[in-house]
Structure formats: C-alpha cells, structure tokens
C-alpha cells in the first residue's frame, strides 16, 4: 500500500492550526497483541492509520473532573472535552478529502499511550505514562482510526528518559510502583481517597506521577 506524504503533511498542519499539541500516526497492523475489542479493525473496515493526538495539560485545572448535581459518577474531564473536539474536527477534515474515520471512545477503545508509542510520539516511562519530548507526561490523549493511508511513525519501545531516574516512583504517595511495576489497585485506592475539590462538583485527582517527571519542564512554550 502506498502511503500519502502530502496528506500526512496536510493533517499535521491542520492539527497545528486547530491547537493540537502532539500528533502521531500508528500502523493498525501493530495492534495484533491487544484484545480484539482494542484493535483498530474493530472500529472501521479497512483501517490504514491510527491517528493519536495529544493536548498539553498546561494548567492543572484542565485535568479536573466534574459531574452533574445528583449524579455520583465523575463524568466529564475538561481536557478530554477539548481533545475530543479536536478529533471531530480532524474527522470532518478527512471526510472532506474523501476518507472515512472514527473517533474512538474510551470503552471499548484503543490503549492510547500504547498507540502513541507505536506511532513514534514517545515511550512509556517508569511512571506508566506516555512521555513526550516537549511536554513530558502532561498530555491528554485521544485517537481516531481512519482509512487514510498516512505515513506512520517508528514505534518506540524503550524510554531513553528513564535511565538512572526514579523521581516519579519515589514521589508516588501511594507507593503504587512495586519492583518498578505500576499496581493499579494501590493507585486507585489513593485516587478515591485523596480527591482535591475545586467545587462541590469538580475535583482534581492525584497527578504526582505526571507533575514530578522533569521531561519537558524546560520548555519555553505558550499555552
Ligand atoms: S520521572 Fe524519571 S523515571 Fe519517571 S517517567 Fe520521568 S524520566 Fe522516567
Ligand atoms: S496517580 Fe498518584 S497514586 Fe497513582 S501512581 Fe500516580 S502518583 Fe501514584
């Protein structure tokens, strides 16, 4: 299959124009190791590219969750609402160029940080999160699957940033990294019991493993 260099450039430029901070393209053939419901083929016929985009969490408030009065579920994440809109704009852009795509939900969905690493955006660090060169782990991710044949990035399997570093592991208040492995249950218990309330209906959860990572902290970027 021939991949389209000009279209790849156009998408990158469009992403930049609308405010997407990070973008990468992954080959759907690389998702075979994941459960069927988390593979690109589940979402559209003949997928040619997984587009992963990221939005820089330049202010902690963007990482807040909210819920409606009377409902217990934390249902709305501010940064996610922004990045989801970016996805829909990219979908419409591709549609105008004659390509089909689908914005992927969370469940069932793709494993986003793994998709980003497969697309060459960055590695998964010891903090169990994607690390980007410019923003460290301070990005909120989303993805689309499309039949547009874009040029895909080189998968990244190892974190060059983490060699000799343990900052995030030592900073975790829940000691949720045991022998270097992230233990979800320990993390989740801490998240549930240590919410920071911005208002009755808006909270920020622990993000020490995001904030403590020094990668991308020396950048000089405007929000
Ligand atoms: S704080 Fe250090 S070990 Fe943790 S993810 Fe960042 S670079 Fe890797
Ligand atoms: S979110 Fe907080 S508790 Fe969970 S792993 Fe990160 S630092 Fe630890």
- What percent of the chain is modeled with pLDDT above 70? 94
Section 6-17 average pLDDT: 98
Ligand 1 neighbour 116 (Cβ under 6 A): no
Residue nearest to atom 4 of ligand 2 (CA): 187
pLDDT the model gives residue 163: 95
b/e sequence 1-33, b meaning 16+ C-beta within 10 Å: eeebeebbebbbebbeeeebbbbbbbbbebbee
Q: What is the pLDDT of residue 71?
A: 64
Chain-centroid distance of CA 159 in Å reads: 16
Treating both helix axes as pointing N-terminal to C-terminal, what angle do 5-18 and 78-96 enclose, rounded to 10 degrees? Answer: 140
130 lines ligand 1 (CB under 6 A): no
Helices within the chain (DSSP H only)? 5-18, 78-96, 112-118, 167-171, 184-193, 208-211
Average pLDDT over residues 106-112: 91
Tell me whether residue 146 is exposed, middle or buried, using C-beta atoms within 10 angstroms of its C-beta: 0 to 12, 13 to 18, 19 or more.
buried
Report the range of poorest mean pLDDT among 77-81, 86-90, 121-125.
77-81
pLDDT in tens, 46-59: 999 999 999 999 99
Residue 218 has pLDDT above 80, yes or no: no
Q: How confident is the model at residue 130 (pLDDT cuts 50, 70, 90)?
A: very high
Q: How confident is the model at residue 204 (pLDDT cuts 50, 70, 90)?
A: very high
54, exposed or middle or buried, with CB in 10 Å at 0-12, 13-18, 19+?
A: buried
Residue 155, CB half-sphere, CA atoms under 13 Å: how many?
Answer: 12
Q: How much distance in Å is there from the Cα of 159 to the middle of ligand 1?
A: 9
Between vectors from CA 14 to CA 108 and to CA 147, what angle results, nearest 5°?
45
Q: What is the mean pLDDT of the chain?
A: 93
Q: How far is CA 200 from CA 66, 73, 77, 195, 203, in A?
A: 9, 13, 15, 11, 8
Mean pLDDT over residues 22-35, rounded? Answer: 97
Q: Is 26 in the pocket of ligand 2 (CB under 6 A)?
A: no
Global pTM value: 0.93
Give φ, ψ of 51 to 5 degrees. -95, 120
Domains of the chain, residue spans: 5-211
176 CB less than 6 Å from ligand 2? yes
Of all ligands present, the nearest one to the C-alpha of 123 is 1
Mean pLDDT of 88-100: 98
- pLDDT (0 to 100) of residue 223: 39
pLDDT surpassing 60 at residue 222 = no
């Amino acid at each position: 299959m021939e991949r389209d260099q000009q279209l790849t450039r156009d998408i990158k430029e469009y992403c930049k124009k609308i405010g997407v901070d990070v973008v990468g393209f992954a080959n759907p053939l690389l998702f075979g190791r994941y459960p069927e419901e988390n593979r690109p083929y589940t979402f559209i016929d003949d997928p040619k590219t997984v587009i992963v985009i990221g939005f820089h969490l330049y202010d902690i408030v963007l990482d807040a969750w909210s819920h409606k009065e009377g409902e217990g579920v934390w249902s709305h994440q501010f940064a996610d609402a922004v990045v989801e809109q970016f996805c829909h704009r990219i979908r419409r852009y591709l549609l105008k160029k004659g390509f089909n795509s689908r914005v992927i939900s969370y469940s069932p969905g793709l494993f986003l940080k793994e998709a980003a690493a497969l697309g060459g955006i960055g590695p998964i660090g010891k903090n169990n999160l994607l690390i980007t060169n410019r923003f460290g782990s301070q990005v909120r991710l989303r993805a689309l699957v499309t039949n547009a044949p874009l040029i895909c990035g080189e998968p990244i399997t190892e974190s060059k940033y983490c060699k000799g570093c343990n900052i995030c592991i030592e900073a975790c208040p829940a000691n949720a990294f045991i022998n270097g492995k992230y233990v979800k249950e320990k993390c989740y218990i801490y998240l549930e019991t240590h919410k920071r309330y911005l208002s009755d209906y808006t909270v920020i959860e622990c993000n020490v493993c995001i904030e403590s990572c020094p990668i991308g902290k020396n950048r000089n970027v405007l929000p």
